[in-house]
Amino acid sequence: MHSQERTLFIFSDMETPTVAHVLKIIEGLAPTEAALPEDPVGLQCGDPDGPAGKVMVALDANGMTIKQALAASAGLLVTHHPLLFESLGPRNMRTPIGDAFTMAVRGGLAVYSAHTNLDASPHGINAALADVVDLREREILAPTGPDSFKVVIFAPKTSLGPIRKAVFQAGGGRIGPYSECSFAVAGEGTFLGDETARPAVGSPGRRESVSEIRLEVLAREGTLAGLLEAVRKVHPYETPVMDVFPLKGKAPGVGIGITGLLPSARTVGEITLLVKKALRLKAARVVGRPGRKVSRVAVCGGSGGSLLQAAWSSGAQLYISGDIKFHEARSAEEHNLSILDVGHFAPERFGMVRFGEKIHQQCIENGWTMKILYAAEKDPFTVMI
């Protein structure tokens, strides 16, 4: 029911979108709740109510890309790596990142970073890499996002409207890019209050039977307490019955890294050539025999060493990632996992260009004729052959 393939926000009769309007599109494609804890995704600086103007897309938020965005008179710079990985104190404003931050603020440029939430998005970095090798039957390698709970509320039928409203306003019922998701079914509730009871329906000491609804809704860790409190405020019963079930695992279908099947078995060497061509790479590092035929492949753009175990546990024979260290490569060998290391820059830059195209497509569907520009960026590493 909840296809994540397409999310479109329509803003009618608006020709000059603000930064906030473009961010709504971005966060529809890559919801921030999927980001890893401590990852400072979101607006790094700038006025959300300012005009978005031209939008520049880049992998890194640094002096080089901010300078380019300002030179192009862009109103918004969208990056993968956050500008503010570390908090900026008065002492470190005179660092390269401090300078970049100051430059953006003085120039009136909004900077927004979609990092691990974009890794987890079906429109993101890993999905772009999985598309290169045409992975089928995709599954997530490492689920992310906060823990989820199913909240079940019993209430008289007549209270369904106000309770639903309270639940949604408190942040319940969000699934990926969808909000206000709930399920209700009618039934019969019974109760018998003792002489101290003050029942909203019936009287103490009398067995009552009431037409009730059972309302089910999803809540996240951070919103659960507020949601229960909001329901208590509008629920007519003296002691509302609310069951909270912790759900096993994280939000379904949201996470970092993808494992899947190739359309047909291919050798590691063939896949290497294919990926090198798509990512315009001069060289790539391979662990394992290039002639090995593989059919299950895992991918994770950027630094993928931490997901090695998830990759071999998924049954993958080949892991396409970057920044793999020596001991990680040895460990992969021991688990018969081949590795194609394409570096950090190429797959993430590739994924950001694809993400920029998705943003552009949705802007066009909203009737905005704004320009999406791509910053000129280079891999800091040069391959010497």
Dist CA 353 CA 221 (whole Å): 33
Number of residues that bind Zn ion (CB under 5 A): 2
Instruction: Name which of 59 and 153 has its Cβ closer to Zn ion.
Output: 59
Stretch that binds Zn ion, among 36-44, 180-188, 324-332, 345-353 (CB under 5 A): 345-353
Instruction: Name which of 302 and 343 has its Cβ closer to Zn ion.
Output: 302
Beta bridge pairs of residue 190: 209
Instruction: Name which of 159 and 321 has its Cβ closer to Zn ion.
Output: 321
Contact (CB, 8 A) for 204 and 194: yes
Dist CA 133 CA 272 (whole Å): 10
Stretch that binds Zn ion, among 4-12, 19-27, 298-306, 357-365 (CB under 5 A): 298-306
Placement of tokens 């688990």 in the chain: 335
Q: Which residues lie below 8 Å from residue 6, measured CB to CB, with a gap of 6+?
A: none
Closest distance of CB 54 from Zn ion, Å? 24
Give the count of beta carbons closer than 10 Å to the beta carbon of residue 134. 13
Stretch that binds Zn ion, among 31-39, 103-111, 319-327, 346-354 (CB under 5 A): 346-354
Residue with the CB atom nearest Zn ion in the bound state: 302
Q: Order of strands across the sheet with 147-156?
A: 183-192, 207-220, 147-156, 241-250
Closest distance of CB 16 from Zn ion, Å? 32
Closest distance of CB 345 from Zn ion, Å? 8
Give the count of beta carbons closer than 10 Å to the beta carbon of residue 59. 24
Instruction: Name which of 150 and 354 has its Cβ closer to Zn ion.
Output: 354
Closest distance of CB 19 from Zn ion, Å? 23
Instruction: Name which of 40 and 171 has its Cβ closer to Zn ion.
Output: 40
Closest distance of CB 68 from Zn ion, Å? 19
Closest distance of CB 289 from Zn ion, Å? 28
Contact (CB, 8 A) for 148 and 254: no
Long-range pairs, 89-97, Cβ under 8 A, ≥24: 96/62, 96/63, 97/62
Residue 100 Cα to chain centre, angstroms = 26
Dist CA 46 CA 108 (whole Å): 6
Instruction: Name which of 18 and 126 has its Cβ closer to Zn ion.
Output: 126
* 302 makes contact with Zn ion (CB under 5 A): yes
Stretch that binds Zn ion, among 38-46, 130-138, 243-251, 296-304 (CB under 5 A): 296-304
Closest distance of CB 29 from Zn ion, Å? 18
Residue 238 to residues 166, 200, 201, 276, Cα–Cα distance (Å): 17, 7, 10, 65
Dist CA 304 CA 133 (whole Å): 17
Stretch that binds Zn ion, among 202-210, 246-254, 272-280, 301-309 (CB under 5 A): 301-309
Instruction: Name which of 212 and 348 has its Cβ closer to Zn ion.
Output: 348
Positions touching Zn ion (CB under 5 A) are 302, 348
